[in-house]
Amino acid sequence: MRILFFFFLGLVVNSGFSQSATTEKDASAAQPNILWLVVEDISSYLPMYGDSTIETPNLSRLAAEGICYDNVFAPAPVCAPARAAIATGMYPNRLGADHMRTGPWMMGEV
């Protein structure tokens, strides 16, 4: 009985590997290659946005070979609420992150 169990276990494991390898190859060929770079406090001081203050050869090459979005919006005008929204996918006021850590709960008044 034990030998039969290990035989069937070997068949199941082997069939799983062969199917996952072929589906993984097919899926990787169908999926786009996405690189999402998130930086803060640099504004648009990059050559791909028309500024010549600094040289960024690797970022410039990535932008030339891919897509560079120049019409995007932030969910908040300051860093911490915008970061909280990007990290969670929720609006900062829904999270309570829109006050930049200010308010009665931070002062011990609540």
Q: For residue 49, give every residue at least 6 positions away whose Cβ sits within 8 Å of its Cβ, in sequence order, or none.
A: 68, 70
68 is catalytic: no
Angle at the Cα of 79 (from 89 to 37), degrees rounded to 5? 65
The residue annotated as part of the active site, out of 9, 79, 90, 106, is: 79
Residues designated catalytic: 79
